[in-house]
Amino acid sequence: MTAPLRIGIAGLGTVGGGVVKVLTEHRDLLAQRAGRPLVLAAASALEMPAPLAPLLKGIAWHGDARVMAKSADIDVVVELIGGAEGIARQVVENALGAGKSVVTANKALIAKHGIALARTAEQKHVALAFEASVAGGIPILKALREGLAANRFQRVYGILNGTCNYILTGMEESGRDFGEVLAEAQKLGYAEADPATDVDGLDAANKLAILASVAFGCPVDLDAVHVEGIRRVSATDIAYAAELGYRIKLLAMARRTENGIERRVTPCMVKRESPVGHVMGVLNAVVAEGDFVGQTVFQGRGAGERPTASAVVADLIDIAAGRVSHPFGVPVDTLTAIPREPVERQRASYYMRLNVVDRPGVLAEVARILAGEGISIETVLQRGRSPGETVPLILTTHETDEAAMIRVRGLLGSVKAVTQDPAFIRIETL
């Protein structure tokens, strides 16, 4: 058996602790699969977590992860600090600059600086591996780069944030609104005290930017991702979605169009029987559509100690075995810039919920506005009669340009019978 792969780990939070446990509990199995031992040689964190102390006994402890990253006593650095800037970025840059491979779960770092880091890794002939940055324990990047490499992809999409999926599932199952279920998710540890990165779609956007780059062979472009979160989704919308045969999911989607690539993270209505319609709770799912393989579906846990640690250690096994590939599937200088499909030109069907005063002629006025923008109504729902009272008016449309829906939103504001801002949710055919 050849010399061990000496590992330095930066960050001993939830995922870091999981990596330490996998390396310890599966020591013999990992050595067999990698062809040599995987040895944790050094660690750095703000403090030594008491539960991990017995497992870290005898390894080199560094007060500064940036110094550890350049140590001659390690071969690969595992960065689990998080964040696109600061120490996390410096650790990775120091390691690559010193000719050491890097494994990271840091989706924000890769989404913002992945191309520059990949270029350094290729120049130094070392690995930059980030399987754990997208969909946790689901090996989707490896699948796109390797198992499905013969395909030209038309579309990749999925549920990439377990927190949002848990909240939307809870809203559907209990009939409660967003705020109540968010508070429950925070209490159970599924949502952070400051949940903005998750519920406003930023976490999923980082992951989608990486996913699109690997799938389409283009540079990572976070700015090209149109991002909407789930704060405005109501229990009323979820109930009407169910009546219409849909579920609401925070969908991350990248697809080719005639004009470029559409990249968006937005709440969508999807058929309950669709590949992602049945994915509930904290689970993630990713669907890739290739021209030869057709549709492939991947589902599993997208976050947490054990699934993410599983992905990190899988990257370490590849490095130990000498299976080093280009981080984004092709040499970074061959990534091809593909135009961004403007949001206004993107097409979809839509669900609309209008709170209107129940009086004759309101539906006709709304229909006139839609017709003026060339939008065809597919379904109308209005329950009961409450003359003079505010009631929900539900419509779904046939496919139209988003620009037309944006104009409609403004025009509806001039209708006196419409008492609140309308709710618009895309309907995706998957």
pLDDT at 1 over 60: no
pLDDT for 21 equals 95
What mean pLDDT comes out for the span 178-201? 91
pLDDT at 154 over 80: yes
Per-residue pLDDT band for 385 (boundaries 50, 70, 90) equals: low
What mean pLDDT comes out for the span 341-355? 88
- Model pLDDT for residues 305-325, shown as the tens digit of each residue: 899 999 999 999 999 999 988
Per-residue pLDDT band for 358 (boundaries 50, 70, 90) equals: confident
Q: Is 207 a catalytic residue?
A: yes
Query: Which residues, at least 6 apart from 93, have a Cβ–Cβ distance to it below 8 Å?
Result: 117, 120
Q: In the 8-state DSSP scheme, what is residue 145?
A: I
pLDDT at 384 over 80: no
* Chain centre distance of CA 129: 17
Lowest mean pLDDT among 244-258, 284-298, 382-396: 382-396
Q: Burial level of 187, CB count in 10 A (0-12/13-18/19+)?
A: exposed
- Asked whether the beta carbons of 82 and 108 are under 8 A apart, the reply is yes
- Asked whether the beta carbons of 142 and 131 are under 8 A apart, the reply is yes
The string of DSSP letters for 93-131 reads: HHHHHTT-EEEE--HHHHHHHHHHHHHHHHHHT--EE-G
Rg (CA), the chain: 24
Asked whether the whole model's pTM tops 0.75, one would answer: yes
Domains of the chain (ranges, CATH numbers): 5-133 (3.40.50.720), 140-301 (3.30.360.10), 346-427 (3.30.70.260)
Query: Which residues, at least 6 apart from 299, have a Cβ–Cβ distance to it below 8 Å?
Result: 138, 279, 283, 284, 285, 286
pLDDT at 419 over 90: no
Q: Which of 100, 107, 112, 207 is catalytic?
A: 207
What gap in Å lies between CA 94 and CA 105, rounded to an integer? 17
pLDDT at 387 over 80: no
What mean pLDDT comes out for the span 225-248? 95
- Asked whether the beta carbons of 148 and 286 are under 8 A apart, the reply is no
